[in-house]
Amino acid sequence: MKTYERIYQRLLKENFITGETLARELDISRAAVWKAIKTLEDNGIQIEAIKKRGYRILSGDLLLPDVISNALNLPVSYLVSSESTQQDAKTAALNGAQAPHLYLAPNQTAARGRLGRHFHADKNGGIYMTLHLKPNASYDKLPPYTVLVASSIVKAISRLTDKSPEIKWVNDIFLDGKKIAGILSEAVTSVETGQVTDVFIGIGLNFHISTFPNELDGIAASLFTETPTITRNDLICEIWKLFFKIPEHDHIKVYKEKSLVLHKQVTYEKDNQVITAKVSDITDQGHLILETNNGQIVTLASGEVSLSSW
């Protein structure tokens, strides 16, 4: 673990701690302490320094890949500069990286969501990560990964905070009517065997972001608007612990319970026509069962729906 990461963990435990104490405890020089403090500030952490009292954290947190890796018993690659963790994971897979493996970055410069859409990635206040899995299964035997991850996110947030997010089919997490997270699941299939060899599950989550671009104002929101009561490390660990440990049927139950669209009237587009229907059920694979206004039953496996009330 790097010196600045060790100092960060020590600062979390104290209201104030002097540079002299930090140097003695970590067996480093005062100059090394000062350099580490500056590194933390460069990573978006606001630190107060008072003569004879020392340092304390006022706001911000630091991603700790070693802590996350140990908590999950999972290799974690931390990329200080990343265009997209999704692309980082794909490139590593092409180069023979093993799975499962988590790819993590403090921000992204070319973040993309479903259908190649751009999404806002904050410099310091977001969670951007991709899990690489190697299921080696036929497509029809794959677990509903997007459902499992969506369930894990809302359950982790509910467990660690007093907030209660919901899921907008198929891959968005909402809080108080605004989007705080999105999920992108992609698969690679072998032409020879027809098996899905690799799956990449990307998550972009607005953890503690104070401002958004004008075009997202009123649409996007952050999990925390005030000082967070947990760290990003806490939430990342909880999400993936739930993902791996909870039985699939329990995830499906959570997905339905937290659904924004189940038993609601929605609209969707088909053959350039806007169709209105009521969502009567969600299958174990995460597909929507719709009843249209003329009584027709339709299964929607992909695409987008809009709540009519919105």
Task: Quick: pLDDT tens for 22-40.
Answer: 999 999 999 999 999 999 9
| Alpha carbons 274 and 76: distance in angstroms, whole number | 44
What is residue 264's predicted lDDT score, i.e. its pLDDT?
A: 94
What is residue 120's predicted lDDT score, i.e. its pLDDT?
A: 57
Is the confidence at residue 269, as pLDDT, over 90?
A: no
State whether residue 280 is helix, strand or coil. strand
- Short-list 80, 82, 74, CA closest to 98: 74
State whether residue 98 is helix, strand or coil. coil
- Tell which wins on pLDDT, 286 or 120: 286
Cis peptide before 170 (omega within 30 of 0): yes
Fold adopted by 65-258: BirA Bifunctional Protein; domain 2 (3.30.930)
**What is the band of 113 on the pLDDT scale with cuts at 50, 70, 90?**
low
For 235, residues 6+ apart whose C-beta sits below 8 A from its C-beta are 127, 156, 157, 160, 205, 207
The annotated binding site for biotin is made up of 108, 112-114, 179
φ and ψ at residue 309, rounded to 5 degrees: -70, -15
**What is the band of 125 on the pLDDT scale with cuts at 50, 70, 90?**
confident
What is residue 115's predicted lDDT score, i.e. its pLDDT?
A: 47
Would you give the DSSP letter of residue 208? Answer: S
Residue whose pair of structure tokens reads 């794909």 in the numeric block = 90
Mind giving me the DSSP string for 19-60?
HHHHHHHHT--HHHHHHHHHHHHHTT-EEEEETTTEEEEEE-
Question: Residue ranges of the domains in the chain?
Answer: 3-59, 65-258, 264-307
User: ∠ at Cα 89 (178, 134), nearest 5°?
Assistant: 100
Beta strands in 176-296 (DSSP E): 178-189, 196-206, 265-270, 273-282, 288-292
CATH number of 264-307: 2.30.30.100
The annotated binding site is made up of 108, 112-114, 179
Write down the mean pLDDT value for the chain: 91
What is residue 111's predicted lDDT score, i.e. its pLDDT?
A: 59
Fold adopted by 3-59: Arc Repressor Mutant, subunit A (1.10.10)
Pairing of strands 126-133, 196-206: antiparallel
What is residue 9's predicted lDDT score, i.e. its pLDDT?
A: 94
**What is the band of 51 on the pLDDT scale with cuts at 50, 70, 90?**
very high
For 53, residues 6+ apart whose C-beta sits below 8 A from its C-beta are 16, 18
What is residue 114's predicted lDDT score, i.e. its pLDDT?
A: 53
Pairing of strands 172-175, 178-189: antiparallel
Average pLDDT over residues 12-16: 89
- Cβ pair 117, 96 in contact under 8 A: no
